[in-house]
Every structure is written in C-alpha cells, then in structure tokens.
Amino acid sequence: MIFKKKWNEKNPFRRLKEGLAKTRANFIGGIDKVIGGRRKIDEELLEELEETFILADLGIHTVSDILDGLREGAKREKIREEADVKNYLKKSMLEILNQADSELDTSTSSPFVILVIGVNGSGKTTTIGKLAVKFVNDNKKVILAAGDTFRAAAIEQLEIWGERAGVDVIKSKSGADPSAVIFDAIQAVKARNADILIADTAGRLHTKTNLMEELKKIKRVMDKGLPGAPHEVMLVLDATTGQNGTSQAALFNESLSLTGLVLTKLDGTAKGGVIINIVKELGIPVRYIGIGEGIDDLREFNAAQFVDALFEE
Ligand SMILES: Nc1nc2c(ncn2[C@@H]2O[C@H](COP(=O)(O)OP(=O)(O)O)[C@@H](O)[C@H]2O)c(=O)[nH]1
Ligand SMILES: [Mg+2]
C-alpha cells in the first residue's frame, strides 16, 4: 500500500532543495541581484541588502544583527565580495538555526503524549497523519485522538489518516467536549499499552481567547490522566503566513508553553526565511518542516542541511 511505505530517504537533500526553491529564488536570488557585478560593499549596497532580507521575512532583529556584522566585516575588509557576503550570511543563519536543531525524542516517556495545536488550516491533521506513519514505521504503537470536535469533517480526516497508518483513532461526535475525548484517549493509551498518543485539536483563530482556554484545559486533563503529559506541546505553523507566524507562535507560547514547532508549506512560499525570525524570537526547537503534501514531505529539521539547501547552487 502506497501510504505504508517507509519514509523515502533516498535523495532527501535534493527534495529539500526542491521544497525550498521559492525561498531560495527570493532570498538568494535577491542577494545575487543586489550584489551581482558590484565591486564595493558600501552603505548603498548594505541598504539594498537590508531591503532584500526584510522582504525575505528574516525579521527586524535578525536583519539588523546581520547588517551590523556585514558593516563590521566590510570595515575590517574581511567582507569584500559577493562570496564573502554569502559566506557570512550562511554562517549567521546557521548560528541562529542551530539553536533550534533538537530532534523530538519520544523515548523520554512511555507512553509519550504529543499535543498538536495551531490555527485552522496550518496543517495539524496532515502533520499528525504523516507522523503516525513515521512512528509506526519505527515500530511504535500509536494512538490518535480526534480532539478537533468542531467539525465532523475534521474527525473524518483524522480517521482516514488513522486507516492509512494502521492506528486506532479515539473519537467522539462532533460538538463533543474535546477534553473528554482526550481524556478517553489517555485511558486508551494506558489500557492498550501504546507508545505514543498524538492529539489533534481545533484551531479556530488565536485571537479568540476561548481557544487558548480550551487548549489549557486539554493540557490539564492530560496531566490528570497521565501525570507529566503532554510531553510535547507542538505548534504547527503555516510558513506562507510569513511574519504573522512569529506573532502567532508567540501568542501560543505565552498561553501553552510550546516545546516544539512544525513549519509546514515551506514548498508553497518564498517566505521561508521566516523560520530564522521565529527561532530568533522564540528559541523553540523546530522538530519538523513540511515541504509538500506527500508522506515523505514532512522532514526532521536539520539546521545545517536547511542552510546548505538554501545556499547551494
Ligand atoms: N504544500 C503543502 N501543503 C501542506 C503541507 N502541510 C499541510 N498541507 C496542506 O494544508 C491543508 C490544511 O491541512 P490540515 O492538516 O487539514 O490543517 P489543520 O486545519 O491544521 O488540521 C491541506 O490541504 C494539507 O494537504 C505542506 O508541508 N506543504
Ligand atoms: Mg485539522
């Protein structure tokens, strides 16, 4: 069955490069356009670079840090030409992203409970499905909880993924109390000796405080059913939202103390630079990135690989 196949790690780097093509064209292409053919790193050139970085959604703090470094390097004549600028950028970006390079380790608790949150359409359910397949392939016993009880379609979508991955889905009727569904799921995980529970949630807009209250309640209920749970509070962010993603993540973090991020739809955006901004502002590990709709397109985040994929010709 097509969905049961292993994550295809053949040519993972090429796929990553393809997935980041739009961001690369915008960001690296933008730099090339500014620097190409120019000889001197002067103030005018730095200002043009600044604009490119801002348009690539790097974020204001990162941009000013990078410019300071470039200015300093140019003054000391360490940065003289295009290749020096790119090397410097690559190094600075890697330094930032390295802070976020920390794999999700589900062996720290058994069962291990993952609470997946994020606004509507960010890719939560799809990510959960892909993760379920991945964990099953790693010989883990996985259970999914249909905590998005807002719409019947949301429950059905998770059930389809459950079938693909060959795992049980704990659900209730649409409109049911999500905390009750999640409490049932915690009981099921204990009774069935599962290794991992992944809980889906509804994602109505973060500006409505009741979503945060609902999610906090789910967290409390998890801890009541299994002290210490959830072990991972994973925010799924749609990279195409650009700068908005940073403020979204900050709001969720404030209320729910995030432990990990998933950045989806990097393949559909030229604004992939936003990952730098989010990491710089929040310092939360990026567990996975989504570079397409296929099962293999959810990738473990690797800072060095990510930066190489962006900069490599
Ligand atoms: N291109 C692309 N599409 C994605 C990615 N992740 C999710 N999607 C799509 O985004 C849409 C919304 O996803 P869904 O999981 O239903 O979002 P939810 O509302 O947060 O549960 C679906 O059409 C997914 O196929 C990704 O990494 N790349
Ligand atoms: Mg969903």
Digit-coded pLDDT (tens) for 159-188:
999 999 999 999 999 889 999 999 999 999
Confidence of residue 208 (pLDDT cuts 50, 70, 90): low
Instruction: Give the whole-number percent of the chain exceeding pLDDT 70.
Output: 95
Q: Which amino acid is at 2?
A: I
Identify which of 133, 264, 287 to mutate to test ligand 1's pocket (most ligand atoms within 8 A of the CB): 264
**pLDDT given at position 35:** 86
Q: Are 70 and 88 in contact (CB under 8 A)?
A: yes
Distance separating the N- and C-terminal Cα atoms of the chain: 36
Q: Is 129 in the pocket of ligand 1 (CB under 6 A)?
A: no
> Is the pLDDT at 154 greater than 90, yes or no?
yes
Q: Is 15 in the pocket of ligand 1 (CB under 6 A)?
A: no
Alpha-carbon distance of 26 to 121, in angstroms, equals: 24
Beta strand pairing status for 286-290 and 298-300?
antiparallel
Alpha-carbon distance of 108 to 96, in angstroms, equals: 26
Closest residue to atom 5 of ligand 1, CA basis? 265
* Ion ligand 2 residue ranges (Cβ < 5 Å): 124-125, 154
> Is the pLDDT at 47 greater than 50, yes or no?
yes
Confidence of residue 12 (pLDDT cuts 50, 70, 90): confident
**pLDDT given at position 3:** 47
Q: Is 268 in the pocket of ligand 1 (CB under 6 A)?
A: yes
**Mean pLDDT score, 34-39:** 79
Q: Is 290 in the pocket of ligand 1 (CB under 6 A)?
A: yes
Q: Which amino acid is at 152?
A: A
- List, in sequence order, the alpha helices (H) in 20-107: 21-35, 43-55, 60-75, 82-98
Q: Is 206 in the pocket of ligand 1 (CB under 6 A)?
A: no
**pLDDT given at position 10:** 64
Per-residue pLDDT tens over the stretch 68-105: 999 999 889 888 888 888 899 999 999 999 999 999 99
**Mean pLDDT score, 2-15:** 62
> Is the pLDDT at 244 greater than 90, yes or no?
no
Q: Is 294 in the pocket of ligand 1 (CB under 6 A)?
A: no
Q: Are 159 and 141 in contact (CB under 8 A)?
A: no
> Is the pLDDT at 7 greater than 80, yes or no?
no
Q: Is 269 in the pocket of ligand 1 (CB under 6 A)?
A: no
Closest residue to atom 9 of ligand 1, CA basis? 123
